[in-house]
Amino acid sequence: MSGHDDRNHRHDDHGHGHDHDDDLTPEERDAGQMRDLLGIEDADVVGDPFAVDDSDTGSALPGDQDTTTPDEYSVASVYAELLARAPENKMEPRLAPLRRAVEILGDPHRAAPVIHVTGTNGKTSTARMIESVLLAHDLRTGRYTSPHLTSVTERISIDGAPVSDAVFVRVWDEIRPYLEIVDRELTDAGQPRLTYFECVTILAFAVFADAPVDVVVLEVGIGGTWDATNVADGTVSVITPISLDHTDMLGDTIEEIAENKAGIIKRGGFLVSAAQPVEAAEVLLEKSQEVAAQYRFEGIEFGVESRNIAVGGQQLTVNGLAGRYDDLVLPLHGAHQAENAAVAIAAVEAFLGAGEKELNVELVREGFAAVRSPGRLETVRTDPPVVVDAAHNPAGIAVTVTALREAFVFSRAVVVLGVLAEKDAEGILEALREAFADMPVTLVVTRSSSPRAIEPTELAEMAQIWFAEESVLVEESLDNALATGIQLADDPQQFDGLVLVTGSITLIAEARILLGAQETR
């Protein structure tokens, strides 16, 4: 892990990439009069909510400013090509085609050691924290996470910044002919060709090898055992809290889900796990022993010693595997993020010193101070407060509302909610009702532009099991829902109202755009 000087690399370079403007659907354009209330200009809402332009998103390194993008390609055209494949929610439970693809490409997944991250909730935030602490140690990082909020390039980050559009397109152009070989082999064998997620995963490995990076922080898409990312062998396997989600694909018990996620624990590796339900912990322990991997669990070998609310986040003291780290300022809200921070520290300790070498506390402080996690309890408007959060299962909703109530002072809540069809909508609604049991709540049900979104009228019918009929409002378009929510929270006759936008990552991605949130780095 050397060679930083000749790259002119600076671990404290935090330049931002550009966000992309997005458009309203035809239905949303009818609500143009609401834009003043939302506080946005017409120029902020042009384009397609799931498209990207071909402007460069920027890069942390001057050397990454590749200007050789082929005229016939742009990020938008590559994205369209990817979307023409089997969609992200139709991932195939297979690894053989991935192994074939990386073999043809010269094993780019082995170009740098991997810290592999799975779990039900907290994967992306934990991956970002790990990345930030590694950057503070002057290591060049590649981070792969999903899904994206604005541009597909956000999934593949170099040194904390989305890969430049030029590099994204160039590397895709280079690997595409080889992926077509695999596609033909699959088609000849009567199997589906490489899926959207499989292709983006292979592209990420190729980008990281091309950079090159010192370490890859790799987030699983779904599960672990047969996820496309599991073609890599993680030096350190990180498992965040496990709960019920994706039950149609992973099983409908904690044990079954844990067994799938345990698939990322590799022989001779090192498991760092968040505190888990007993049934999940037993599965992870058994798998670690089976493959002779070291294992460390939050609450036993490491954990949060103390936390205090601070402006814009919290101040922590963490007992790691090898050291105690105090006065850590984490600009994220919630006890769950403090626990993610402890897991991140333990993961870096495991990676850099097999869990036996204390990290430099100043570098850990520097890394945490730079952490950002867009779409996770993110304040996108202050008067009244509008907070967006990507929680999309009952466990996620519960921790989100707990953190929200800790970080903000409010006596009334307006929840703008949209849920995808494959999710536990009834469980989400029940979790919201329980979390806000002691205060007035208005539910504004709506939908994102995803074809998988539950229709608002259907979601409203479900909601009336837990919420009074007069407390449930239906808005077919998201911009109307946001405007209604803001109007309700900003009632001059009642103070201390807050708007929470949640239930689906696609929903909060579009809400961020409508409300002018820019940073996705």
pLDDT the model gives residue 251? 67
pLDDT the model gives residue 519? 61
Residues in the chain, pLDDT under 70: 1-72, 88-92, 245-251, 518-521
SS3 category, 275: coil
CB 236 within 8 A of CB 351: yes
Residue 314's DSSP bridge partners are: 309, 330
pLDDT the model gives residue 311? 83
pLDDT the model gives residue 346? 98
Rounded CA-CA distance 229/242 in Å is 18
Structure token pair of residue 355: 């869990």
Name the residue with tokens 């671990």: 11
Query: For residue range 250-293, what is the model confidence (pLDDT) as tens digits?
Result: 667 999 999 999 999 999 999 999 999 999 999 999 999 999 99
pLDDT the model gives residue 90? 61
Amino acid identity of residue 138, one-letter, is D
Tally Cβ neighbours within 10 Å of residue 365.
Answer: 18
Strands 378-382 and 324-330, bridge-based pairing = unpaired
CB 417 within 8 A of CB 448: no
pLDDT the model gives residue 382? 86
The DSSP annotation for 324-362 comes to EEEEEEE-S-SHHHHHHHHHHHHHHHHHHHTT-SPPPHH
Which is nearest to 151 in space by CA: 295, 52, 31, 237?
Answer: 52
**What is the distance, to the nearest Å, from the Cα of residue 128 to the centroid of all Cα atoms in its chain?**
9
pLDDT the model gives residue 376? 86
Strand order through the sheet with 378-382: 378-382, 385-388, 497-502, 412-417, 441-445, 472-474
Rounded CA-CA distance 146/506 in Å is 12
CB 117 within 8 A of CB 222: no
SS3 category, 29: helix
Rounded CA-CA distance 503/55 in Å is 30
Q: Considering just the CA atoms, what is the radius of gyration of the chain in Å? A: 22
Surface-to-core class of residue 495, CB atoms within 10 Å of its CB (0-12 exposed, 13-18 middle, 19+ buried)? exposed
CB 194 within 8 A of CB 85: yes
pLDDT the model gives residue 9? 37
Rounded CA-CA distance 358/291 in Å is 26
Rounded CA-CA distance 521/510 in Å is 16
CB 233 within 8 A of CB 114: yes
Which is nearest to 330 in space by CA: 299, 372, 382?
Answer: 372
